[in-house]
Structure 1
């Protein structure tokens, strides 16, 4: 995935005299991000998205999906951007998954990746970003952060494909469309259960 932050139009109204370039009327002070602002930003990034049954914004890709979850109240409010990678592994694969996660977490800033094991023994990877909103955050900082986090979620997926030699498997498998966003949200591929069970952001 390639997303250029400079290519994303500024939010808000515009002002300017006729015949002169218009300047975006961005917020002068801190803002309090919410799901609507996230959806506007995803629209400007031309990314498909929907809202799941819990009210969280969801952006799906072929092999992973990114959730934007707002939790907490007032100065303790936190935005968690959580990525669920849909490729399924077995418990026998867990040692190499943990080794790969350690390698990634040691060498990169985000996402921080951990494993989630379902009741049926299926193991999947989850990536996390956390932003404490407190009394508000800078508009430009929020936009740049979300763009960087979305890009990084895709970069980890590509890194894992190279790390485990999955590219050939993808080429040989029947092509699968990303599908309708709402349908992806309902299907979940095990991710919804992990999301509901991992609100504290810890691994398993």
Structure 2
């Protein structure tokens, strides 16, 4: 497994991406206006991680509510893993990620499917969150 193979897969799938100059082991892209990154982790860099960040920020005063929404998702689904992370003194970010272990190797088609699965499930979570919050979305980024 290598970042070059992830780049090739993104190209095969027709997805635009950029390399991160500060973090050469990360590829960045936007899908449905959500920021995503693709990276290899693990001892042997054999775990491909697809991580997306919701395009809204949340005031820290709503942390319990957001954690409950994430926990509900995590209890009812296998993937993606979703969570809330403090990004500054008063703001939270909401993330979703899918990790695929390719320690035993991977066919191109497996990498493609992992990327598509990560993107579609993380975006489904973001859409679900937006549906649950409804009109409250307008209050989030103030």
Matched, 1:69 2:39: yes
Matched, 1:123 2:92: yes
- How many residue pairs get aligned? The number is 136
For residues 32-90 of structure 1, the C-alpha deviation after alignment (integer angstroms, 9 at most, x for no partner) is: 2x22222222233332211112021111135421111113443x632222112231111
What is the rounded CA distance, in whole Å, between the counterparts of 1:166 and 1:60 in structure 2? 24
Matched, 1:99 2:89: no
Task: Give the TM-score of the pair, scaled to structure 1.
Answer: 0.59
What is the rounded CA distance, in whole Å, between the counterparts of 1:77 and 1:104 in structure 2? 27
What is the rounded CA distance, in whole Å, between the counterparts of 1:126 and 1:151 in structure 2? 14
More strand by share: 2
Structure 1 residues 72, 108: closer, same or farther in 2, change over 3 A? closer
User: Which structure 1 segments of 5+ residues have no match?
Assistant: 1-31, 170-204
For residue 101 of structure 1, give the secondary structure of its aligned residue in structure 2.
helix
Larger Rg: 1
- Displaced runs of 4+ in structure 1, greater than 3 A? 166-169
1:45 to 13, 21, 24: 13
User: Which structure 2 segments of 5+ residues have no match?
Assistant: none
Q: CA RMSD in A?
A: 2.2
What is the rounded CA distance, in whole Å, between the counterparts of 2:84 and 2:12 in structure 1? 32
